[in-house]
A and B are shown apart, each in its own frame.
Chain A
Amino acid sequence: MSDYNFAYLDEQTKRMIRRAILKGVAVPGYQVPFASREMPMPYGWGTGGVQVTAACLMPSDRLKVIDQGADDTTNAVSIRRFFQRTADVAVTSHTHEATLIQTRHRIPEAPLREGQILVYQVPIPEPLRFLEPRETETRRMHALEDYGLMHVKLYEDIARNGTIATSYAYPVMVAGRYVMDPSPIPKFDNPKLSGSPALQLFGAGREQRIYAVPPYTGVVSLDFEDHPFEASKAPHACDLCGDDGSYLDEVITDDRGGRMFVCSDTDHCDCRQKAGHRGRLAMPETVQ
């Protein structure tokens, strides 16, 4: 244990964040302003997610942290160690064992369950921001449920590219009321936002916003009748575990055009390999 208060933040700050989380839960998809603190990591490294996690953690929690699906990249490792040091919580890389999962830009492949909390790191929480830079205006647009501009943007995508070209941070409507940025998750993950048994919380540190999708809440990806939403992924199977249904990362393996596709969710891939599944480039089973 360290000399820091439990989970780093002081109690006054945690109370303020907790009240914002509760209001976020009460108005699904609405971005609640909160007094985001300086954290001992730079903006863009998940300061919003870290503050939400700090306000939610209990000593009995088991924490999982992923960065683009991986448990072992710098961002995931440093945030996991941060909470091991400041909150002394147990950690895991297995999705089904975790009670609280902080994620950067992915939803785990394994289905979530009731009682779990998924905390997203959000860079730009306002889905209308690139269409309308003024906060006063976007706030009014949300109040009036005036989302025509977002549909025009998607329409222009179709007019220019033939399809809706947005492939990540794909806008959704939550519980039939608020249009929400689901953070830069690939649109492949969008269907998993809807009706999830887990509570989903979103924290944007630099932009000072918290929002939430309660369990079993309807989340609809915006689309048109003649151009329905499609959750897309690379048309390959994982080269390590052979799964053709998981979201894939493309890895360049040499300077002569060599490449491989691997699951972005490292826990999912490991579990499948341990269960004996083998992909195109997997090591053959070694004799122990």
Chain B
Amino acid sequence: MTETTFDGGFTNAPIEAATAFRAALDALSRPGTISTLTGATPPAPLSQAAGVLALTLFDATTPVHLAGAHDTPALRDWLVFHTGAPLVSAENASFAIGTWDALHPVTRFSPGTPDYPDRAATLIIEMPALTPQGARLRGPGIKDTARLSLPDTATFQTNHARFPLGFDTFLTSGNKLAGLPRSTQVEAG
């Protein structure tokens, strides 16, 4: 373990977590909205927004999957030290972090069950950039339509077609965060 394992967490957890949660809630309840998350400095390659989201939502009861290049010893140590989350395979994860390519195939992640659709996984997709352009979004939380730079449209259409089952998504880039719940209909821009 290096010194950075212990650094980069919240300095005032109750306040910083509350502020971060509201930004995440805003992003997920109004898809297409891009929020800013600050307060944590996780080791590379984890983005600041994904790091803050992890500190806000992860704990010993949330199995986490690190996909592809995000599965580094430094990041494992940092997440385990700061959140206590068990690191698991994709099939058993409540949360998964990685780039879109690394998270594929997304059918590995739990879509919940018909009786308990809340038991679905939440994907945190690390993006090179995040802009309010691209795919057209409709559905709960969106007044008419919204736009968001998604890495793919067909996969999210398939995911929405399973509603109320399906995974939910946060997209992160630097300190920016957007949300895409399974309830959102996605059309190619």
Contact = CB atoms under 8 A, between A and B. Distances in A.
Interface in A212-228: 212-217
Interface in B2-31: 13-15, 17-19, 21-22, 24-26, 28-30
A25 B141 CA distance: 9
A215 B29 contact: yes
A175 B62 contact: no
A177 B18 contact: no
A264 to B, nearest CB: 28
A236 interface: no
B22 A56 contact: yes
B122 interface: yes
If over half of A's interface residues share one DSSP class (helix, strand or loop), that class is named, otherwise mixed; here it is: mixed
A242 B142 CA distance: 36
B57 interface: yes
B140 A175 contact: yes
A15 B182 contact: no
Contacts of B62: 19
B61 A16 contact: yes
Given A15-B56, A30-B164, A58 B19 contact: yes
Given A20-B118, A22-B25, A25-B29, A58 B18 contact: yes
A19 B143 CA distance: 24
A27 B183 contact: yes
Interface residues of B, number: 38
A144 B114 CA distance: 8
Interface stretch (A4-12, A42-50, A162-170, A253-261): A4-12
Contact of B25 (A6, A7, A12, A21): A21
Contact of A15 (B26, B57, B143): B57
A4 B25 CA distance: 24
Nearest to B165: A27
A26 interface: yes
A93 B150 CA distance: 41
A80 to B, nearest CB: 18
B118 A6 contact: no
A212 B163 CA distance: 16
A214 B120 CA distance: 19
A193 interface: no
B143 A216 contact: yes
Interface string A23-48: 11111101011000000000000000
B134 interface: no
Given A27-B117, A215-B29, A11 B17 contact: yes
Given A15-B59, A19-B62, A56-B21, A177 B118 contact: no
B29 A214 contact: yes
B21 A214 contact: no
A85 interface: no
A55 B56 CA distance: 11
Given A27-B164, A216-B140, 12 more contacts: A11-B13, A11-B14, A18-B21, A19-B57, A25-B25, A28-B183, A30-B164, A58-B15, A58-B22, A139-B116, A175-B139, A215-B143
Interface of A: 5-7, 11-12, 14-16, 18-28, 30, 32-33, 55-59, 114-115, 139-140, 143-144, 175, 177-178, 197, 199, 212-217
13 contacts: A14-B14, A14-B18, A15-B17, A19-B57, A26-B28, A58-B18, A58-B19, A143-B115, A175-B140, A175-B183, A214-B140, A214-B181, A216-B141
